[in-house]
Amino acid sequence: MTVPVITIDGPSASGKGTVAALVASRLDFHYLDSGSLYRLLALHGRRHSIAWDDESKLAEAAANLPVEFSDGAVWLEGNDASLDIRAEEIGIGASKVGALPAVRAALLQRQRDFRLAPGLVTDGRDMGSVVFTDAALKIFLTASAEERARRRYKQLIGKGESANLPTIMQDIIDRDARDAARPVAPLRQEPDAFLLDTTELTIDQAVDKVLGWFGERQVSGH
């Protein structure tokens, strides 16, 4: 039996990570936040003085990145990097290193290795289009740029960090354009992916939508 995979792709700050983690919890599936791998690589590059456009060195690092996901935390070189990788600057770095073909190739098999029984829920930008093309269910989860900026602003303020809404909005617009225009694995909705716009939805409503679609797929045998 093929281990079932649910992929949830979408733009930055759309809430796909939160939804994916909750869906995985409800189904008792494994969970992979693919974006964290690119964030970890950007952080690793910053810490080891590797420029975010140095494709060969970053690809080499990606293939050997000492990463571990355990106890609800993300570990890099034996240290908890859960908070460090969520910095806005590292998010921008992740988008830049993720646009490099050699980096994406180096991380491809590492992502596929997370496919373990009884199932996997994963979120990112190319999970359904490239990494798990045979996924049992593909979701393209999005929200308006205004709503995504508002959510990110609220999140940062809630963590006690300074934030500027117009700046966040521009960063999101810039990242959307960069992710959609990159030559390898551009951000796009696949023809066989369900569109889930969460602009007007609560997190619980979005989770229920995904679980409903997955249940229908299981019943129909697709």
Please list the residues that pair with 194 across neighbouring strands. Answer: 139
**What is the percent of the chain where pLDDT is above 90?**
75
- The annotation places the binding site at 10-18
Burial class (CB in 10 A: 0-12, 13-18, 19+), 196: buried
pLDDT of residue 220: 74
Q: Which residue has the tokens 């809430």?
A: 15
Q: At what angle do helices 88-97 and 34-47 cross, to 10 degrees?
A: 100
Angle (CA) 208-213-218 rounded to 5° is: 125
What's the CATH number of domain 5-213, 3.40.50.300, 3.30.70.20, 3.30.470.10, 3.40.1360.10? 3.40.50.300
Tens-digit pLDDT profile for residues 143-163: 999 999 999 999 889 989 889
C-alpha 38, offset from chain centre: 9
pLDDT of residue 197: 97
Within 10 A of 200 (CB to CB), how many other CB atoms are there?
9
User: Average per-residue pLDDT in the chain?
Assistant: 93
pLDDT of residue 12: 86
- The annotation places the binding site for ATP at 10-18
User: Alpha-carbon distance 113 to 40, whole Å?
Assistant: 17
pLDDT of residue 38: 94
pLDDT of residue 72: 76
pLDDT of residue 221: 66
CA distances (Å), origin 14, targets 73, 99, 147, 192: 21, 19, 8, 20
Tens-digit pLDDT profile for residues 99-108: 899 999 999 9
Tell me the chain's radius of gyration from C-alpha atoms: 17
Judge whether 155 and 88 are in contact, CB under 8 Å: no
User: Alpha-carbon distance 175 to 171, whole Å?
Assistant: 6
pLDDT of residue 181: 87
Tens-digit pLDDT profile for residues 167-201: 999 999 998 998 888 887 888 899 999 999 999 99
Tens-digit pLDDT profile for residues 39-96: 999 999 999 999 999 999 999 999 999 988 877 789 999 999 999 998 889 989 998 9
Record the pTM: 0.85
Q: At what angle do helices 34-47 and 55-63 cross, to 10 degrees?
A: 120
